[in-house]
Amino acid sequence: MSIDILPGEHARREAARWVLWSYAGFAMLGVTLHIFRSITTQKGPYIVYLVAMSLISVAALVALTQLKHSLARAMKLFAWITFISLVMMLIRDINMAEGFTNAIALFIVGIFTLGIILGFKAAIQYATATAVVFIVAGALYFVLPGMIVPVVLAYAVALPAKTVERMIDQTIRDLERLNQRLEDLVIERTAELAESNQYLRAEVKDRMHVEEVLRQRTVELESRNEELNAYAHTVAHDIKSPLASIIGFGELLERHSTQFTEEQLTYYFSVIARNGRKITNIVDELLLLSSVREAEVVDTGALDMAAIVDEALHRLVHEMAEKTPEIILPDVWSVAKGYAPWVEEIWTNYISNAIKYGGIPPRIELGYTILDSGSPISDSETPGFVAKIQNPKSKIAFWLRDNGPGLTPEEQSRLFTPFTRLEQARAKGHGLGLSIVRRIAERLDGEVGVESVIGKGSTFFFTLPAAPTTTSNDDGDTPGETD
């Protein structure tokens, strides 16, 4: 193990600082006491001793300044300068035939100190250098037998440093294993938490989805409740009048049938039949509205629009007989995609309203406009309602233009609202029929709308997806279309 990476760096650095200050202090104290003894005993100072102790003191102070940069470099600098100083003192003691036990003790203390601070490698190097000095000095000055024990002691003092290093190594390995175990536990727990978080996020997402579904369902139910309330009002209002007429004429005929002429009876019966047809039409519309709302899959296909319009006109033969409207149809129809019975219901509602609330006599023009066809159409040829269509791509707009009195913008905005009827008497009956028209068009991926100007009539339209076999004239409008 390198001495630069031994653990406990902070503790070793503090120990080194304490040792260096101690050496510096004792060396300076030794110099002071030696000078004081020389003065009091009037003996000359020992220059070697003064130089050696001064070197130790200076080395300690220099090493203190180097501690913040490198503990190993500072301690090695101090140790080897002190080593030289101790060699000088040892040789001086041997030459003076004085006891050199103190010098040997200082070598031993130096080995122990260096081993504790820098580790076994530094201690064994210092012990080896010390042993070499002891053996060489013993051989030169014939005191070798007295150096055997100090040599053995020098190596013995270095051994604890090795033991300490091994204990430190074992502690490090134990800490690494413990740290690895903790890391594994953290990773395992993190994975468990991630899985738990993922499960919780999925659960929260599912709950949010359920809440969103419930919210949408609640909104839908609230909307349906509102529609049902309006539905009850509409049914009561629309059925009450013809039913009252049927009951009134029925009671009149029951009580006084013998008093009426054949012509009067025929009239009364026609009134009863006409009001009965009104009730039947209302019931049929409500049943159709229910089927449009509940149908999950709609079997759509290419439409024969000429046949559909003809069937719608045939259904309105009684209304046409009363008002004798002028009906203008295109020579050909563009092919759209939809569900024929529902599209027939749209035309039936549009034409019926045009007959009831158109001009006198009613003039009704039917046509179509191909949207987003790529064909250039001038502004004068483009119906004004085209700008109202949200998604014209691959769509065909079918329209009906009447010569009625027209509708105000406010009336137009409320016209297709479910079960909403206008206050004006002339618009009576629009609410239920046009709400059905809107539902049908939306189920067939289309739109509905109206373009109207007071005094200039109205144009009702609906859009359907274009069928792949769509045919049209060159400019994308019907031959009979005029603006």
* Each residue's pLDDT tens digit, 116-134: 777 777 778 878 888 888 7
CA 378 to chain centre: 47
* 305 in any annotated domain: yes
Asked if the model's pLDDT at residue 38 lies above 90, the reply is: no
pLDDT score for 382 = 54
* 188 in any annotated domain: no
For residues 168-181, give the mean pLDDT: 81
pLDDT score for 425 = 33
Measured over the CA atoms of residue 94, residue 100, residue 106 and residue 108, the dihedral's sign is positive
pLDDT score for 463 = 94
* 244 in any annotated domain: no
Q: 245-254, 285-294, 367-376: which has the highest mean pLDDT?
A: 245-254
Of the chain, the end-to-end C-alpha distance in Å amounts to: 101
* pLDDT tens, position by position, 218-232: 887 776 666 666 556
Per-residue pLDDT band for 380 (boundaries 50, 70, 90) equals very low
* pLDDT tens, position by position, 313-355: 998 888 888 888 999 999 999 999 999 888 998 999 999 999 9
Strands (E), 253-411: 301-302, 326-328, 337-338, 363-370, 395-401
**Which of 159, 181, 203 marks a domain boundary?**
181
* 133 in any annotated domain: yes
**Which of 164, 181, 198 marks a domain boundary?**
181
* 226 in any annotated domain: no
Give me the CATH number covering residue 310.
3.30.565.10
Number of domains in the chain: 2
11 and 152, same domain (yes or no): yes
For residues 243-261, give the mean pLDDT: 79
9 and 138, same domain (yes or no): yes
pLDDT score for 311 = 93
pTM over 0.75: no
Measured over the CA atoms of residue 426, residue 428, residue 431 and residue 432, the dihedral's sign is negative
For residues 131-157, give the mean pLDDT: 76
* 259 in any annotated domain: no
* 477 in any annotated domain: no
pLDDT score for 396 = 92
Kindly report which listed range (10-19, 100-109, 180-189, 443-452) carries the lowest average pLDDT score.
100-109
* 331 in any annotated domain: yes
Q: What percent of the chain has pLDDT over 90?
A: 14
**Which of 118, 151, 181 marks a domain boundary?**
181
Cβ(411)–Cβ(422) under 8 Å? yes
Q: Which domain holds residue 413?
A: 299-465
For residues 162-173, give the mean pLDDT: 73
pLDDT score for 231 = 58
Strands (E), 154-280: none
307 and 166, same domain (yes or no): no
Nearest-angstrom CA–CA distance, 79 and 69: 17
pLDDT score for 470 = 42
pLDDT score for 5 = 47
Tokens standing for residue 470: 């769509």
Q: What three-state secondary structure class fits 363?
A: strand
Which of these, 355, 349, 377, lies nearest to 435 by C-alpha position?
A: 349
